[in-house]
Amino acid sequence: MKLSKALPLAVLLFPAGVTAGEGYPTIEVVRSVVGCMADLGGQNEQNLYTCTCRHDYVADRMSFEAFDNGTMQERYGRMPGEKGGVVRDNEHGKADLKALLELKKEATKHCPVVKNLKAPTRQDS
């Protein structure tokens, strides 16, 4: 099965309430990794490896609540009008976004894009 078909299938196999890691819902882990992969140019093994590393780096250092607040601020903070004001005026969201962006920057350094990823081979004695 190709990777591009496997990721959407993974979303269907794990209900939204199932958690992965430190209280991060599986659906949010998948969104984070797939979004990262899109930013790196698409779904392939190298980007999957890199993006799961980056997500794990952030998840190990930030609670899901802070991640969720920061992500909401990142997505909707520029929304115009009254509805956007609820997000823009959220001081916790702003602080969480700042922390999230810093962790993402650190994760980029910690988890560089891996080129020519090769499966381990078994050596016979």
Helix, strand, coil percentages in the chain from 3-state DSSP, rounded to 5: 65, 5, 30
pTM above 0.75, yes or no: no
62-96 pLDDT tens trace: 999 999 999 989 888 888 887 777 777 778 888 99
* Residue 115 included in any domain: no
Question: Is 119 a domain residue?
Answer: no
Is 116 part of any domain?
no
Question: Does 51 map to a domain?
Answer: yes
- Domain range spanning residue 37? 3-110
Please check whether residue 122 lies inside any domain of the structure: no
Residue 81 lies in a domain: yes
| Beta-bridge partner residues of 20 | 24
pLDDT value for 89: 76
DSSP string, 52-109: HHHHHHHHTTS-HHHHHHHHHHHHHTT--HHHHHHHHT-HHHHHHHHHHHHHHHHHHH
Residue 25 lies in a domain: yes
- Over residues 21-47, mean pLDDT: 91
Please count the structural domains in the chain: 1
Q: Is residue 46 part of a domain?
A: yes
